Amino acid sequence: MEKLHSPARAEIEYAASLLRAGRLVAFPTETVYGLGANALDELAVRRVFEAKGRPSTSPIIVHVSSVEMVRSVVAEWPATAQLLAQKFWPGPLTVVLKKQVAISSMVTAGLDTVGVRMPSHPVALALIEAAQLPIAAPSANRFTQLSPTTAAHVRQGLGNRVDYILDGGPCTVGIESTVLSLAEDAPVVLRPGGISRAQLEEVIGPVALRSGVDGDAHPAPGMHPRHYSPRTRLLLVRRGDVPREGAGAYLQLRTPPKREVQKVVQMPNDAASYAADLYRVLHRLDARGYDWIAAEAPQGKPEWEAVWDRLRRAAGGS
Distance in angstroms (rounded) separating the CA atoms of residues 296 and 20: 45
pLDDT in tens, 29-41: 999 999 999 999 9
pLDDT-based confidence at 223, cuts 50/70/90? low
Question: Domain limits of the chain?
Answer: 9-209, 233-314
pTM across the whole model: 0.94
**At 212, is the pLDDT very low, low, confident or very high (cuts 50, 70, 90)?**
low
**Residue 206 contacts by C-beta under 8 Å, 6 or more apart in sequence?**
186, 187
pLDDT at residue 214, rounded to an integer: 57
Q: pLDDT-derived band of residue 4, with 50, 70 and 90 as boundaries?
A: low
DSSP 138: -
- The superfamily in CATH containing domain 9-209 is DHBP synthase (3.90.870.10)
CA distances from residue 45 to 41, 117, 169, 184, 204 in whole angstroms, order as listed = 6, 17, 25, 26, 33
Instruction: Read off the pLDDT of residues 97-149 as tens digits, 9 standing for 90 and up.
Output: 999 999 999 999 999 999 999 999 999 999 999 999 999 999 999 998 999 99
pLDDT at 263 over 80: yes
Q: Is the peptide bond before 243 cis (omega within 30 degrees of 0)?
A: no
Tally of CB atoms within 10 A around 301: 9
Short-list 165, 167, 176, CA closest to 25: 165
In the predicted structure, residue 267 carries a pLDDT above the cut 90: yes
Cα separations in angstroms, 52 against 19, 179, 200: 17, 21, 31
State how far Cα 183 lies from the chain centre.
Answer: 21
**Any idea what DSSP says for residue 229?**
B
Q: Is the pLDDT of residue 2 over 70?
A: no
- What is the separation of C-alpha 87 from the centre of its chain, rounded to a whole number of angstroms? 20
